[in-house]
A and B are shown apart, each in its own frame.
Chain A
Amino acid sequence: MASDHELVRAARRGSPAALASIFDRHWPTVWRAAYAVTRRRELADDVAQDAFLRAASALERFDERRSLAPWLARIAVNRAIDLMRRERQTTPMADIEAQAASDRGEDRELHDAVAALPLERRTVVVLHFFLGFTLEESAEILDIPAGTVASRLSRALTSLRAALEAANHV
Chain B
Amino acid sequence: MSDALDDRLRRAASSYALPDEQASARAREAFLEATAGSTRPGFAERTRRFRFGPRLAAVGLAFAACVGGAFGAGFGVGSSGTSISTSTATIPVAANSAAGPGFLPAAGWNVVQTGPTVPPLAPTAMAANVPFAASDAALDRPPANTIHSLGPNGVLLHATFVRSDDTSGQGQYPARTLPLRLSDARQGSLEGFPTGGETLRLGAHAAGYEIDVLIVFGTAKPSEPVRAAAEEELARLVVPGCPAHTTSLTGSDRDAAASFLLEWLRTHYVGTPVDFDGASARPYLVGVDTAPHAAAVREQCGAATRGRIVEVDVTLSKAAQATTGPHALAYFVVRDGRGWLVWREA
A48 touches B27 (CB 8 A): yes
A149 to B319, CA, bound (A): 21
The size bracket of the interface on B is 35 or more
Q: Inside 8 A of A16's CB, which chain B residues have their CB?
A: 32, 35-36, 44, 192
The answer, among B11, B19, B43, B270, for a CB contact under 8 Å with A19, is B43
A84 interfacial by beta-carbon distance below 8 Å:
no
A53 touches B43 (CB 8 A): yes
B191 touches A7 (CB 8 A): yes
How many residue-residue contacts, CB under 8 A, span A and B?
A: 185
Q: Inside 8 A of B319's CB, which chain A residues have their CB?
A: 78, 82
The answer, among A6, A9, A20, A32, for a CB contact under 8 Å with B28, is A20
A35 to B24, CA, bound (A): 13
A105 interfacial by beta-carbon distance below 8 Å:
yes
The residue in chain B whose Cβ has the minimal distance to the Cβ of A161 is B5
The residue in chain B whose Cβ has the minimal distance to the Cβ of A131 is B13
B31 touches A23 (CB 8 A): yes
The answer, among B5, B11, B190, B271, for a CB contact under 8 Å with A160, is B5
A109 to B221, CA, bound (A): 64
Residues 1-36 of B at the A interface (beta carbon under 8 Å): 1, 5-6, 8-20, 23-24, 26-28, 30-32, 34-36
Contact A45/B35 with A27-B28, A129-B10 known, Cβ cut-off 8 Å: no
In the assembled complex, the CB of B317 is this many whole angstroms from the nearest CB of chain A, namely 11
Q: Inside 8 A of B271's CB, which chain A residues have their CB?
A: 57
The size bracket of the interface on A is 35 or more
Q: Inside 8 A of B162's CB, which chain A residues have their CB?
A: 60
Which DSSP category, helix, strand, loop or mixed, fits chain A's interface?
Answer: helix
B119 interfacial by beta-carbon distance below 8 Å:
yes
Contact A13/B190 with A53-B31, A130-B9 known, Cβ cut-off 8 Å: yes
Give me the interface of B with A, judged by CB distance under 8 Å: 1, 5-6, 8-20, 23-24, 26-28, 30-32, 34-36, 41-44, 46-48, 119-122, 140-142, 158, 160, 162, 165, 172, 190-193, 212, 214, 270-271, 319, 322-326
A/B interface sample: 7 pairs, CB < 8 A: A14-B47, A14-B48, A15-B192, A42-B23, A57-B46, A74-B322, A160-B5
Give me the interface of A with B, judged by CB distance under 8 Å: 2, 6-7, 9-21, 23-24, 27-28, 31-32, 35, 41-42, 44-45, 48-49, 52-61, 63-65, 74-75, 78-79, 82, 100, 103-107, 110-111, 114, 125-126, 129-132, 143, 154, 157, 160-161, 164
